[in-house]
A = this chain, B = another copy of it.
Amino acid sequence: MYKENNLSKNQQIIFDLIDKSSEPLKAYTILFSVQKKGIKAPPQVYRALDKLVETGKIHKIESKNAFVACRNSNCEISKATAFSICESCEMVDEINDAKLTKYLTNFSDKKGTKYKRFNLEFFGLCKKCK
């Protein structure tokens, strides 16, 4: 079963839920939603989330402790993530901007250090809320 799509049963259930959601989902919201499917305890949810984040299927919105499905081509396996977050309605959109990604991926600080990963969160008002 695992081979077919490389997601395990719990991972698939939880990914489907996140993928269908129009807003970021929190771990315990997910837990309550999937209890009817037999996922009953927090570790089951967190383990699936960890794996999905690791493989770039989902991203964690750090400022919200919530998870969204990746809408890009897996963000070079999550080395370069950027989001816009509405401060009014909580909406989150993944930003897919090649120039921005390039700029930040190539960024080096004053000591000349380059970084191998970044996460960027923009805050403001979405179109609806403006």
Please list the residues of chain A having a beta carbon within 8 angstroms of any beta carbon in chain B.
62-63, 84, 93, 95, 97, 100, 103-104, 107, 109-111, 113-124, 126-127
Question: Smallest Cβ distance from A113 to chain B, in angstroms?
Answer: 7
Expressed in whole angstroms, the minimum distance between the Cβ of A90 and any Cβ of chain B is 15
For the complex, what is the distance from the CA of A97 to the CA of B115, rounded to whole Å? 15
A91, B72: Cα distance in complex, Å: 30
Given A62-B62, A62-B63, A63-B62, A115-B122 contact (CB < 8 Å)? yes
Contacts A62-B62, A62-B63; A113 near B97 (Cβ below 8 A): no
From B100, B103, B118, B127, contact of A123 by CB (8 A): B118
* Contact among B97, B103, B117, B118 with A109 in the assembled complex (CB-CB below 8 Å): B97
* CB neighbours of A121 from chain B (8 A): 62, 118-120
Instruction: Check A109 against B123 for contact (C-beta < 8 Å).
Output: no
Instruction: Give the residue among A110, A117, A127 with the most B Cβ atoms within 10 A.
Output: A117
**Do B124 and A114 touch (CB < 8 A)?**
yes
Q: Given A63-B62, A119-B63, A119-B120, verify A127-B111 contact (CB < 8 Å).
A: yes
Known: A62-B63, A97-B109. A84 touches B122 (CB 8 A): no
